[in-house]
Amino acid sequence: MSLRGARAARAAWARGWGAGCRRGASDLPRPPPRAVDVAELLRDATVAEERPRAAEARRPPGQCSVLLFPGQGSQLVGMGRGLLRFPRARELYAAARSVLGYDLLELSLHGPQEALDRTAHCQPAVFVASLAAVEKLQHLQPAVIENCVAAAGFSVGEFAALVFAGAMEFTEGLYAVKIRAEAMQAASEAVPSGMLSVLGKPQSKFSFACLEAQEHCKTLGIADPVCEVANYLFPDCRVISGHLEALQFLQKNSSKYHFRRTKMLPVSGGFHTRLMEPALEPLTQVLKSVGVKKPLVSVHSNVDGKRYMHPKHIQKLLVQQVVSPVKWEQTMHAIYERKKGVEFPKTFEVGPGKQLGAILKSCNLQAWKSYQNVEVLADDDEQILPLHS
């Protein structure tokens, strides 16, 4: 780690936390004097290189890193326990309590699971756990942060990726997640809906299955039924969102559509479809109050898998994402595409679970061989290997 980077690693989370969120969080405590500012570390490394693109080209690809941030559905009672010996992680949870108005750490550690699974709770919980996991990773392997070249987050994880990359302050990002989660919770309660994970075969016709499920709903008297692909995970694997009756129809007729396995996800609504349209206006308004900046490392959008280019692009697509399918498979191809023989970067999943690692394995086996997850359930730092290994 460079001397300049070491100094930055001891700097405050001043940019990451700021003086508090502009809406509803003006009474947040001042940033702790010695907390790690990951955005400062990234910015400092960029300045030190002066020509970041040329420097990146000189850096061996195998020594670069990519961070993946999980989304809703990865939450589990006990998450955060593996982060508590890192003071900066505890301070994130303390700041979260001020923004949210309840003890997120207590809910994350002790549940109950039913309460944690509520959209209004689990989105902030996954967001904070992921950024606390970044603090753990920075403490154990600061070179991973200095050498990060790309980040992506699944659904709400995209907010964590943007905060990590310096595009948003922590408190503002968390407040936006709070409003998003509450609006999506309200939208999901308005219509009985959900999400169905489907592992198919090459001959599976997902769109045709969704159309027939919609027709089935119409026979039940459901006007304007919704059933559509909401997540593209890896080849032949999709998540379908919509009315519960449509998803039940697909499960019952799975063999007809060549579905190998179906499973309802632990979420409360038909996310990433037009069923979430009532959540658009609250999210649009809160994002207007967020000071969005250009990310210091490449952050890829769920909407199209491409890198964000400027702040207005971020604000627009974060809203669009709520009613659009998550193109995660396409994002993985965009991040890991390279010429034959070129090494893959080290990939770190920061947050609860290992779902993104499993998806990466199915999308790109060679890239997955350099994957690790940062444990948030147990206090185990042995699994984080040096970046140059």
**Alpha carbons 379 and 312: distance in angstroms, whole number:** 39
Amino acid identity, position 25: A
Encoded tokens for 381: 């730092």
Count the neighbouring beta carbons within 10 Å of the beta carbon of residue 106.
12
Clarify whether 268 is annotated catalytic: no
Clarify whether 272 is annotated catalytic: yes
CA torsion through residues 271, 376, 168, 152, sign: negative
Q: Which residue in the list 65, 272, 300, 301 is annotated as catalytic?
A: 272
Q: Which residue in the list 74, 108, 155, 241 is annotated as catalytic?
A: 155
3-state secondary structure the chain: CCHHHHHHHCCCCHHHHCCCCCCCCCCCCCCCCCCCCHHHHHHHHHHHHCCHHHHHHHCCHHHCEEEEECCCCCCCCCCCHHHCCCHHHHHHHHHHHHHHCCCHHHHHHHCCHHHHHCHHHHHHHHHHHHHHHHHHHHHHCHHHHHCEEEEEECCCHHHHHHHHCCCCCHHHHHHHHHHHHHHHHHHHHHCCEEEEEEECCCCCCHHHHHHHHHHHHHHCCCCCCCEEEEEEEECCEEEEEEEHHHHHHHHHCHHHHCCCEEEECCCCCCCCCHHHHHHHHHHHHHHHCCCCCCCCCEEECCCCCCECCCHHHHHHHHHHHCCCCEEHHHHHHHHHCCCCCCCCCEEEEECCCCHHHHHHHHHCHHHHCCEEEECCCCCCCCCCCCCCC
**Alpha carbons 183 and 165: distance in angstroms, whole number:** 25
Catalytic residue numbers read 155, 272
